[in-house]
Amino acid sequence: MFLIKNYMKIKIAFVLLIAFGLVSMTTKGPEELFKNESKLADCRQEIPLTYKKKDDQKVAEIAKTLKDKELILLHYDKKTSEITYRRYYLVSQVKGNNTYNFLIGKSDYLSHKNVAVFLKYSDKCDRFYAADCFDKIVADNSDLKELLKEKS
């Protein structure tokens, strides 16, 4: 009888622990890379540009919806806390059975040069934003303007 009661207590504690873990995982929002990043939340574009086969189709669909739309790729350097960004366009091309997703720098894209840029992208330190929205919010927030540095 003593073993059954202890077993039941352990089982209940385990179930509560699992339930608490699931609730905390689902209610936790995306972590900010830097102070005031939340001001840019409406501009954020979720683009899993991992160059993995499993993400290719999703990125290709996103590229269709963002055709001719300028993007900002923001990078947070964890070692130096420097925050830089560059302007790109997302392009997807199908050749044979393969889908190729890549970025093209703004100046190359506008001069119709298909110079593909394949960057190492990580959700832990990189973010995509819609450029028009990003520019408007940064222009209206001096704290962000001082913090973010554009690279050419």
Dump pLDDT digits (tens) for 38-83: 999 999 999 999 888 899 999 999 999 999 999 999 999 999 999 9
Q: Is 131 exposed, middle or buried (0-12, 13-18, 19+ CB in 10 A)?
A: buried
144 touches 39 (CB < 8 A)? yes
Tens-place pLDDT, residues 4-34:
555 555 565 454 445 444 443 333 345 788 8
User: Do residue 59 and residue 113 come from a single domain?
Assistant: yes
Output the six-digit token pair for 146. 């001082």
d(CA 105, CA 117): 7
Share of the chain above pLDDT 70, in %: 80
Q: Would you state the pLDDT for residue 5?
A: 57
Tell me: do 74 and 94 sit in the same domain. Answer: yes
pLDDT at 120 over 90: no
d(CA 17, CA 137): 41
Instruction: pLDDT band for 2, please (50, 70, 90 cuts).
Output: low
Task: Of 45, 139, 53, give the one whose Cα is nearest residue 99.
Answer: 53
Co-location of 105 and 142 in the same domain: yes
**110 with 53, same domain?**
yes
Q: What is the domain range of residue 133? A: 37-150
> Are both 11 and 71 inside the same structural domain?
no
Tell me, yes or no, whether 42 and 21 share the same domain: no
